[in-house]
Every structure is written in C-alpha cells, then in structure tokens.
Amino acid sequence: MNELVEAEDDREVSKVIGRYARFDLICLDEFGYLLFDSRGAELLFQVITAREEKSSIAVATNHPFSERCQTFKDPRLAAAVVDRLTFRSHIIETSAESYRLLSSRKPSKGGEDKK
C-alpha cells in the first residue's frame, strides 16, 4: 500500500500497478488486519482490477466477508473489492485456531508450559 501511495505522489502509479499486474501471484496476508484509508483502498482496488481474470491473488484473513466495511470505509468500494476477489475464486474456510496460538500452548521440550 505504501509503495502505491508513494508512486501516486511521484505520478508513477500506472507503472507500479502495471508491474503488480504482471506477477503470476500476489499474496495478501492478514487482509483486513489494518484499516485502509480511502486513498490506499482505491489504489488496491486498481491493482485488483488490473489483475482481474488474468492473474491470481491469494488472500488470507481471519475476517468474514460481512466485516469488509471495517477494512474499507466506503461500503461500495468494499463490495467491489469482495466482488472481484470472489469472482471465479476458490474459497477455503478453515475455521481453525491460529497455529501461533496452538504452538504457544504446547509444552516445551523441557516439560514446562510456555506462558
């Protein structure tokens, strides 16, 4: 997001979006963890649109689609992003507990529990 905002400031956003459009795969990890300001959200939407039906995007998130408006302040933009990300997609819901949390609960090799 920072690179896109900086590129827009330098009037090179089309070049950066074009570069992102050429990657075989873009991974968005912890999607929705940080809130997007309107400028960043619009730039991300442009990247997603540039890749639409051409290249893959993998998204990992703990947030259900119903909470998309918390990440994107504009409900119409949120709906458009979800629409593009879910069109012809494979959605895998794991409903699994965090592996980080699980590993922190495992007893250490010395027999003491981690705290």
CA gap 61, 80 in Å, rounded: 17
Domain housing 7: 2-105
Is the pLDDT assigned to residue 111 strictly greater than 70? no
Instruction: Look at residue 115 and tell me if it is in a domain.
Output: no
> Is residue 107 classed as helix, strand or coil in its secondary structure?
strand
In a domain, 110, yes or no: no
Across the strands, what pairs with 59?
28
* 44 or 107, higher pLDDT: 44
Q: Which two tokens stand for residue 38?
A: 């309107």
Question: What is the domain count for the chain?
Answer: 1
Q: In this structure, is residue 43 part of a structural domain?
A: yes
Q: Is residue 84 assigned to a domain? A: yes
Q: What is the CATH number of the domain that holds 52?
A: 3.40.50.300
- Min mean pLDDT across 23-27, 80-84, 91-95 is at 91-95
Task: Please answer whether residues 44 and 81 qualify as being in contact, where contact means their C-beta atoms are separated by less than 8 angstroms.
Answer: yes
- Span 64-75, pLDDT tens digits: 777 777 778 888
pTM score > 0.85 for this model? no
